[in-house]
């Protein structure tokens, strides 16, 4: 299995704050993953701090 995380940082890489925003996304989802079985097919939409859809994480068969 693979865990995939794809985040679109837009044209400006989160207005020049890519490390800060990506860190927030990783902390949030890292803490939230315990609510999932993490089996193929699991996944959710990823939002930035302004609650804009910026990507998705998923578990897939390799």
The full set of domain ranges for the chain reads 2-60
Strand order in 53-60's β-sheet?
2-7, 53-60, 43-47
pLDDT at position 37 is 96
pLDDT at position 55 is 97
| pLDDT lower than 70: segments of the chain | none
Task: Name the one residue in this structure whose structure tokens are 């995380």.
Answer: 5
Q: Tell me the CB-side half-sphere exposure of residue 26, using CA atoms within 13 A.
A: 7
Distance CA 59, CA 5 (A): 9
């Amino acid at each position: 299995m693979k865990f995939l995380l794809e985040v679109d940082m837009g044209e400006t890489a989160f207005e020049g704050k890519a490390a800060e925003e990506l860190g927030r996304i990783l902390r949030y989802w890292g803490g939230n993953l315990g609510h999932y079985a993490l089996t193929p097919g699991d996944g959710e939409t990823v939002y930035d701090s302004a609650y804009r859809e910026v990507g998705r994480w998923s578990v897939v068969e390799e």
